[in-house]
Amino acid sequence: MPVDAEKEITKLWRNLHNAQAEVGKTYYRWRQAALEIAGPGAKPLEIGLKAAEIFGKDIGKSFLPRLNWLKGEEGFMMSLGRAFAGSWVADGAIATVEKGETPSEVIIKCTRDPWPSWAKEYGVPMEEVALCRERLFQSILEDVSVFFSISLKIEMLKAIPRGHGETVFKLYKAE
């Protein structure tokens, strides 16, 4: 029986997108459950930021085995930037990495991020989406900085949830 390659690829593509959507929606379902358990005095932004911090710490540990200094500082920073972009792409985003102005700086850009759409389904303010992404990325760097004994920083320059056409982060080695 012949295989219809186009049909199979379409099926796999749809399944990937469904799985990615479940990851994002599960995050917001968890947020909703935490708010309900915490009660009426709970602050949604604090809960979202704490979740982003927890997720970031866990993701940061998974980055460590793939990072090294064998290609020097610029190679290390590009590898780290690609790891950030890759984690975003795994969620369904379109993210790229570019060299920065110095060897110790890279720019991570996202032109399509599904998280704001998922957040809308759960009534989450867009500013919280932006702040949580930034906290997530900052938390990832904590263990990476300690492990490699370098001070790494990341800052959000633009954000899709804030109405910009893309989200842009500058990842750099702090002096």
What CA–CA distance (Å, rounded) separates 79 from 107?
12
Considering the entire predicted model, what is its pTM? 0.89
69: Cα within 13 Å, side-chain hemisphere: 8
Q: How confident is the model at residue 86 (pLDDT cuts 50, 70, 90)?
A: very high
**Does position 170 have pLDDT exceeding 80, yes or no?**
yes
pLDDT tens column, 39-65: 999 999 999 999 999 999 999 999 999
Q: How confident is the model at residue 19 (pLDDT cuts 50, 70, 90)?
A: confident
Confidence at residue 140, expressed as pLDDT on a 0 to 100 scale: 96
Confidence at residue 85, expressed as pLDDT on a 0 to 100 scale: 97
Q: How confident is the model at residue 168 (pLDDT cuts 50, 70, 90)?
A: very high
**Does position 18 have pLDDT exceeding 90, yes or no?**
no
**Does position 1 have pLDDT exceeding 80, yes or no?**
no
CB neighbour list of residue 81: distance below 8 Å, 6 or more residues apart: 97, 106, 107, 108, 171
pLDDT tens column, 138-163: 999 999 999 999 999 999 999 999 99
CA distances from 123 to 8, 49, 68, 98, 113 (A): 35, 16, 41, 33, 17
Return the H-helix or E-strand segment holding 158: strand 152-158
pLDDT tens column, 22-33: 888 999 999 999
Confidence at residue 12, expressed as pLDDT on a 0 to 100 scale: 86
Return the H-helix or E-strand segment holding 128: helix 126-148
Work out the burial of residue 32: count CB atoms within 10 Å of its CB; fewer than 13 is exposed, 13-18 middle, 19 or more buried.
Answer: middle
| E strand segments, 20-150 | 94-99, 105-112
Confidence at residue 10, expressed as pLDDT on a 0 to 100 scale: 87
Nearest to 21 by CA among 115, 122, 143: 115
All structural domains of the chain with their residue ranges: 5-173
Q: How confident is the model at residue 82 (pLDDT cuts 50, 70, 90)?
A: very high
Q: Hey, what CATH topology would domain 5-173 get?
A: Muramoyl-pentapeptide Carboxypeptidase; domain 2 (3.30.1380)
